[in-house]
Structure 1
Amino acid sequence: MTKRSATVRHSSTDFYNNSVKEITRQYLSLSFEDVHSHWTHHLQSALKKQNVAILDVGAGAGRDVSYIAKLAAQYSSDTSSQNIYAVEPAIEMMKVGQATTQNQNVHWLQDALPSLDKTTKLEISFDLILLSAVWMHIAPSNRARSMRKLANLLKPGGKIVISLKFGMTKEEQQERSMYDVSVEEIERLAQNLGLIAQLESSTSIDKLNRAGIYWQTVVLRMPDDGTGAFPFIRHVAINDGKSATHKLALLRVLLRIADGHPGAVLRREHFSGGDRVILPLGLVSLYWIHQYKDLIDHHGLFQTPNKSAKMGFMKKGGWCELGERTSSDFRVGNLFMGEEAVALCKTLSTCAQNIRDMPSRYITLPYSDARVFEVASKRVKPVRRLFLDLDTLTQWGEFSLPESTWLALSRYACWIEPVIVSEWVRTMATYSGNRQYAAFDKRAYLNQALNWLEPIRTTTEVRNRFDALKSKQAMQCVWSAKALKHKYDIDHSMPFSRWPNNDLWNLVPSDQKVNNEKRDRLPTERKLIEAKERMLDWWKMAWLDDVSIKDNVALKQRFFAEANIALPGLPRHNLSVDDLFEALLLQRGRLREMQQLREW
């Protein structure tokens, strides 16, 4: 019956590592149905959903997650529509679990509550999370944080199933690092997070027939995002006081980073008020420039009630020296040289200061002076060569926001952005400098000006590279392995129309007929895996291995800089194409879940 601790407590983890044979024998002597029959209807309802995601925290020897994977296969033979993850902190137990679930659709992570760092970096939300015989291992001081973390990982309508162990002796608690538990505590923690608690079993006897031991199961349900983050974002966008468009600009910048750059998270930190996500301040500043550049310089739209269209971050020697640049130039992977590099350095610094002193200072929790966003800025000496990657953008300092806000921005971007844009249009229309657009029939121009300018959907650079390679060797379609001679397309592996990304890693050669069949659909996981070797070969020959290419080092640097920030779970210094491909599979799953894209 007993499963592994999901907390980072060495005595508990060591106990299970050292007792792996005995614990495994006990654990596998019972079936899933023996232990969990009273709540399996929740599992079955979850498995009926499209793109289901299930997480077993403290999965031990893999009995439960193996059953879940087998049951999932009965509901759908398409495993690419099922994300089943198992978390286990004790490495020896995890090895047993991996053997138990060999050849099944189960992904294992060595991870632990209360932080669940590796799981959180997946940027996946779950329909059902199971904690069987885990909660008693979590120290009472870590339980509020653990519950917040689990709630943050739930989809709207998702459920957490927690089995509670009672009747432990003091000796067992000491030996296995266990603590007393109660249904009342679970209900209180759940209520604080907006979760609905339901007791699924009053008491059940221990299936291993241990004297004095009995169990209860509690199911927690998420009615919405459950963190208060979504209504808070909406409050700032619509109801919060605005003397300028700064607050809206900051929300939109963060939304764009959360939606398009899951790899931008430097780390997550625990604070008494909840976990926080740390981003490079330079990236926030870069996107600040991106959204204001054309809005002010090209469209001439006022962003404050003042008599000048200029704002505090538009300084001589900085912003004013970048007049030839457009919004889409300010993106990760681009290189600035000479006086432009110096000017951009100065502009990033003034924008960082503006973000720190204006919107971050004045966006507070409702009915409180507590700031939601924190900025720790650093002085940066201007340089004459500025390559925009995570390392560079971290030099300006760090930007911190609540993890619940980050997740809401990531999950609900397609709903939140129209609210922000609509309020931004309404706000600009009230400024005297924009009076010609005040009438409702004139506001279409304001909406158009707020279009987020992506890099031009061009494949010219990649097509030129393909043609150069084709003149020297045989080339093939990444998707079908067909030989490519005269007619071919350069395809966005993740559809540009639904996730605008023109990075080198996302552009692959394709047979025209195959590309027309794919169109704007998302490749299935199976198709991606089948194409893996051809995709990796293309990346290597086109961008990474050919020393004859001029500026090969800079091109390789750009390739990984773009990938490491756009894809989830990659370290910022990653240089592995295999790890990049695994992150691509994760991003495919995120897009499928969040945007419900049609699959190819």
Structure 2
Amino acid sequence: MTNFPATTPTVRFYDDNAQQLFDQYQSLSFERVHGEWLHHLPTQPGLALDVGAGSGRDAKALAERGWQVMAIEPAEKLRTLGETYTHEGDVSWIDDTLPALNRVRQLSQRFQLILVSAVWMHLSPDEQQRALRVVSSLLAPGGLLVITYREGSNSDERQFHSVNMGMLDSWARDLALLPVQASHNNDQLGRQGVAWHLRVFRLPDDGTGALPSLRHIIVNDDKASSYKLGLLRSLTRLADTAPGIVMSRKEEWVTVPLGAVGLFWIKLFRPLLIDRDLRQAPGKKAMASLKMTSIV
């Protein structure tokens, strides 16, 4: 259950002990490990993200329940074992890592379930906060986020960090995540001094589910856009990266500097119009003749 770049002692440990850890994970069933929160699973299976998928035990169990699973595991040898174990199910494997999850984010997917099992304690406090921002941004409206993490001593070379549960809950509130369940239990393998904590959150679906989806498409679509869609894309990019630039805010509208909108529009469309000289409409030449380079 790892999620680290291959240069760290943590991921090297999981690679060096891949078969032993695979057998250890497989000795416990999915239901035994995760049974206390399974009643929160959406009744309609959808797209699930298993971060730190390890042996593939959880990914396979979710796939058998009808979920389409994206399994994230950076430890190559453990990932190979997991791929073999889940090859008959609807499970795709990706080499990626928290806190950034860069490859997952490039896919522009939204998930009804995100499971981060036995990973969180390997992240530093700063990485934990960033990771929560990242995974919350990948949730679909109404989506469920499940985090389990270990508390207790460790004698091997893996890196462990403390998890401030109060801060985790506070960060979740700041991200508009609703608390669903919190608990802690003894170690299922019977290790002394080891306990496990569970946090379950849900991204509320306030009936505007189509708006986040539209926003997601506008911001992440890499195709050339019409001018109206281009303006929306510029505004959403501005809102994502420079929210502090808002001059005034009302319930139904905000005021932003026109120059900032123009700057973001140029930054987005210069590669299309100037660098690549792409057409903007059928039968017309590209607009490189506008000489926009003089104002960039």
Q: TM-score, normalised by structure 2?
A: 0.74
Q: Which amino acid aligns with 1:176?
A: R
**Counterpart position of 1:116:** 101
Give how far 1:255 is off: 3.7
Decide which of 12, 33, 50 is 1:56's aligned counterpart. 50
Once the two structures are superposed, what CA deviation does each residue of 1:233-286 show, in whole Å capped at 9, x if it has no partner? Answer: 99xxxxxxxxxxxxxx98841546999xxxxx9xxxx99x9xxxxx99565258
Counterpart CA distance in 2 for 1:60 and 1:334 is: 52
8 A contact 2:63–2:90 mirrored in 1: yes
**Counterpart position of 1:458:** none
**How many aligned positions are there?**
255
Q: Indicate whether 1:192 and 2:174 are aligned.
A: yes
**Counterpart position of 1:324:** none
Task: State the superposition RMSD in angstroms.
Answer: 3.6
Counterpart CA distance in 2 for 1:38 and 1:161 is: 11
Give how far 1:288 is off: 9.4
Give how far 1:335 is off: 8.2
**Counterpart position of 1:593:** none
Give how far 1:159 is off: 1.3
Counterpart CA distance in 2 for 1:208 and 1:162 is: 19
**Counterpart position of 2:121:** 136
Computing the radius of gyration from Cα coordinates, the structure with the larger value is 1
Q: Indicate whether 1:207 and 2:203 are aligned.
A: no
Q: 1:159 to 1:9 in 2, by over 3 A?
A: farther
1:163-242 to structure 2, matched below 5 A, reads 163-169=148-154, 171-172=155-156, 175-201=157-183, 203-224=184-205
Counterpart CA distance in 2 for 1:192 and 1:208 is: 35
**Counterpart position of 1:71:** 65
Could you tell me which runs of 5 or more consecutive residues in structure 2 were left unpaired when the two chains were aligned.
Answer: 216-225, 245-263
Give how far 1:182 is off: 3.1
Could you tell me which runs of 5 or more consecutive residues in structure 1 were left unpaired when the two chains were aligned.
Answer: 73-81, 235-248, 260-264, 274-278, 290-327, 354-376, 378-600
Q: 1:282 to 1:196 in 2, by over 3 A?
A: closer
**Counterpart position of 2:249:** none
**Counterpart position of 2:74:** 89
Return structure 1 stretches of 4+ with deviation > 6 angstroms.
Answer: 286-289
Q: 1:256 to 1:22 in 2, by over 3 A?
A: same
Q: Which has the bigger relative contact order, CA under 8 A and spacing at least 6? A: 2
Once the two structures are superposed, what CA deviation does each residue of 1:566-594 show, in whole Å capped at 9, x if it has no partner? Answer: xxxxxxxxxxxxxxxxxxxxxxxxxxxxx
Describe the SS at the equivalent of 2:32: helix
Q: Which amino acid aligns with 1:253?
A: G
**Counterpart position of 1:330:** 280
**Counterpart position of 1:36:** 34
Q: 1:61 to 1:194 in 2, by over 3 A?
A: same
8 A contact 1:253–1:288 mirrored in 2: no
**Counterpart position of 1:158:** 143
Once the two structures are superposed, what CA deviation does each residue of 1:378-400 show, in whole Å capped at 9, x if it has no partner? Answer: xxxxxxxxxxxxxxxxxxxxxxx
1:531-550 to structure 2, matched below 5 A, reads none
8 A contact 1:132–1:162 mirrored in 2: yes
Q: Which amino acid aligns with 1:185?
A: M
Counterpart CA distance in 2 for 1:129 and 1:105 is: 16
Q: 1:224 to 1:206 in 2, by over 3 A?
A: same
**Counterpart position of 1:344:** 288
Percentage identity across paired residues of the two chains: 33
8 A contact 1:163–1:215 mirrored in 2: yes
Give how far 1:112 is off: 0.5
Give how far 1:114 is off: 1.0
